[in-house]
Amino acid sequence: MQAANRVVVNTVIQYTRLVVSALIGLVSVRLILGALGEDDYGLYDVVAGVIGLLGFVSSSLGMTSTRFLSISLGKNDDEGTRKAFNSCFWTHVLMAAGLVLVLEIVSLFVFDGYLKIAPDRIPTAKWIYQCMLVSLFLSITVTPFVSMQISHENFIYVSLVYILDALCKLGIAIIITQYNQDKLLLYGILMMLITLLNVLCFVVYSLIHYRHQIRIKFDSFADLKGVSGFAGWTMLDSLGATLSRQGYSVLLNRFFGTSVNAVFALARQVETPVYVISSSIIESMKPQIMKSYGMGDAKKMMRLSLTAGKFGFAMMSLLTVPLLIMMPEVLDLWLVEYPEGTVLFSRLLLIACMANQLTMGLFYANQAIGDIKWFSIVVSTLRMLSLPISWIFLKLGYPAYVAIVVFVVCESLGAFSRVIILSRLSDELNVMDFLKSILLRVLPPFLLGLGICWVLYRYVNSLCGLLLVATVTVTVYALAMFFFGLDEDERKALKNVATSFLQKFKRRS
């Protein structure tokens, strides 16, 4: 299969999985919110926020593993792949152990008056914290096995595991609605068990299908130097992303308590599926980006990186265009009752997510090149500035939504700084190329879809009317993006994949 066609197929698989998981997740969240109540739901989010402040290590190590494994596979070097996997595995184990130790020390302080938690809920919060630490350790150590499957572009199996994960979480939501004792504690324990199930699925499959490329044998710390050094700078970039999200849970709790935490948590439940869609679509293209560089084709690598941002933004916008306009009705249908401010928070987080998506492909291009020091420093600094700036505004007495506006601005600045930095690191990219081939191509269809949705939305007041507006909006936007947003090669790749699917369907029927 040609690279362009493979990218489209992988993107379709990822997109389908994420839409299914998102729909299941929306039902789960509604049941969980009803079962736990606003305060316990906010309590779970703030505890998760403390864990997430250092959870950036997991995501950065995952990107590092995929980078080294994909480049080795691009060179058709099985011995190099075994060495890379072994180094990644032990780096993950050591990092996971160190991270859990740090978080255990942190727990001695955060529950002793720092977080605003009702005294009678502190014991439960501590148990939830321990369950999350176990989940974090498991999630980090299993990452090389997940990266092996991503590097081999086995997105069908990865998608099936994550759909199973979503179904299990729906089962948990149903169980806790029927439970009559401490529902929050049961919820935390069951969520930990789901993580264990995911670990088993990825490890067993990898050991069966890729055992010839897997080696687990600790020789010396010197063997970990290359992976850990690269991971260190990747962690800095991931720290910016993590602090700009998880850090807000702690910040809002300090100023407003668990009630605003519930607002922020629900807004993130709206944003998270969209955010995951954007990052996972890029994930489906990442192996091709890395392998292209491993084969010495830097021009192809950069072209795929730019296309990744465009495809991700386009497919993500199929959801965000109607969501931005019809957010109140969507929340009414989904939650029935929700805290004040959820609509505004949700819209702002979606805007930040779209700004980040446009240049996310360039992040992986930079990882493939390997010169990530200044890229990580500049981008992460701009993103992390959102927390101290927000703290200043909140200290001055501004409302909570101002902090989220600051978040949107800093995320946008960090996203577009990638273009400037990478243009200085690679001759295959300049700022004008990005503006012409990406920004000026995707914005007109997006604004057209947004405008059509807003105009039609003003004249409907029923569920059927809203569905019609969403259908018309998505159809017009998709056509505009296909004919004006994509270039000739990208349209051709989509047509080839569609033709291939139709031919297979006709043969089977």
322: part of which helix (H) or strand (E)? Answer: helix 298-335
CA–CA gap between residue 443 and residue 309 (Å, rounded): 13
Three-state SS annotation for 21-46: HHHHHHHHHHHHHHHHHHHHHHHHHH
For residue 338, how far is the Cα from the chain centroid? 24
> What tokens does 210 get?
């890729």
The ranges assigned to domains in the chain are: 3-213+221-508
Three-state SS annotation for 366-417: HHHHCCCHHHHHHHHHHHHCHHHHHHHHHHCCCCHHHHHHHHHHHHHHHHHH
How does pLDDT run across 395-446, given as a tens digit for each residue?
A: 998 888 898 899 899 989 988 888 888 888 877 788 888 888 888 889 999 9
CA–CA gap between residue 441 and residue 448 (Å, rounded): 12
Q: Tell me, what amino acid is at 354?
A: M
> What tokens does 290 get?
């890395």
**Percent over 70 (pLDDT), the chain:** 81
65 CB-near residues (< 8 Å, 6+ apart): 84, 85, 88, 92, 143, 144, 147, 148, 227
Ranges of the chain whose pLDDT falls below 50: 1
Q: Tell me, what amino acid is at 331?
A: L
Tell me how many helices (H) and strands (E) the chain has. Answer: 19, 0
CA–CA gap between residue 125 and residue 43 (Å, rounded): 7
Contact 281, 11 (CB under 8 A): yes
CA–CA gap between residue 177 and residue 157 (Å, rounded): 31
pLDDT confidence of residue 448 = 93
Q: Where are the alpha helices (DSSP H) in 246-297?
A: 246-256, 258-294
Contact 191, 169 (CB under 8 A): yes
Q: Would you tell me how many other CB atoms lie within 10 Å of the CB of residue 337? A: 9
pLDDT confidence of residue 428 = 78
How many angstroms separate the Cα of 253 from the Cα of each of 106, 264, 348, 465?
17, 10, 19, 39
Contact 20, 166 (CB under 8 A): yes
Distance in Å from the first CA to the final CA of the chain:
23
> What tokens does 378 get?
């500049």
DSSP state letter for 435:
I
**Of the candidates 94, 194, 192, which has an alpha carbon nearest to the alpha carbon of residue 144?**
94
Query: Tokens 């362009």 appear where?
Result: 4
